[in-house]
Amino acid sequence: MKVVYTIIKWLVLISSLSAILSFTNKNRKNQAANLNNIEIDYKKFIDNKNITEYLIENHFIFDSTLISDIDFVSIEEALNEHPYIKKAEIYSDQKGNVNLFLKNRIPYVRVINNTDDFYLDSKMTMFPINDNYTENVLIITGEFVLTNSKAKKLITLINNNDFWRSQITQIHFIEEEDVILITRVGDQLIEFGDLNNQEDKLNNLNIFYKKVMPVQGWDKYSKVSLKFNNQIVCTKK
């Protein structure tokens, strides 16, 4: 008898909870939506105002719109198509507040050539420059080929090293695999050559900076060549 009573008690409790949840969910669907919270992790290119305007342009209106009438999937898809947004997430709470969380693309390098000018993120995804803000990143010019894995490796080696990231400002591709480096300190042209033995070449250049430049001075050479294996060839001014 006690077991039967316990079962009945649990059934009544579950039924009550289901009714409460059903009532709450029904009320929630009938609530008017409010876009009260937009969180953006990187606001250099777009801010909350830009996102609100973008949603309106794509016919997503929240004022006086019921939660049940909002197509959250379509909104996420539209936001993920925005060139500056890497990933968008949207959800609503029990009070009808709509929350947006946006992870934006962060510039890794900037590519400039005769016809194009754009940024690449760390995954080598292209996105446009912005008239309101210019990010200070490594510049890529010349005959750069986006699908060249060796070129990507050199970019990564430079950007992942604090010294090279501050010293090397530009990679110029004379050809797809013939490279010149432009530096921040010193006006020497750095002939990197082909894209083989990249770590060795950068290591040799680092040794040159540490051991030769302090003795000879930063203005003695017009060109420093890393083209040849295990040696540096310098051209005086």
Residues of CATH 3.40.50.11690 domain(s) within the chain? 109-236
- The SS3 assignment for 57 reads helix
Task: Give 169-208 as a 3 state SS string.
Answer: EEEEEEECCEEEEEECCCCCEEEEECCCCHHHHHHHHHHH
What would the pLDDT profile of 198-230 be if each residue is shown by its tens digit? 999 999 999 999 988 888 877 788 899 999 888
Residues of CATH 3.10.20.310 domain(s) within the chain? 29-104
Q: Which CATH class is domain 109-236?
A: alpha beta
Tokens of 73: 């999937």
- Please provide the CATH number assigned to the domain covering 29-104: 3.10.20.310
Question: Pick the residue with more confidence: 68 or 46?
Answer: 46
Edge-first strand listing for the sheet containing 34-40? 34-40, 97-104, 85-92
What would the pLDDT profile of 61-110 be if each residue is shown by its tens digit? 777 677 777 888 999 999 999 999 999 999 887 777 888 999 999 999 99
Alpha carbons 213 and 180: distance in angstroms, whole number: 19
Secondary element (H or E) of residue 54: helix 48-57
What would the pLDDT profile of 147-178 be if each residue is shown by its tens digit? 999 999 999 999 999 999 999 999 999 998 89
Nearest to 183, CA basis, from 173, 195, 169: 169
Q: What is the pLDDT, as a whole number, of residue 70?
A: 82
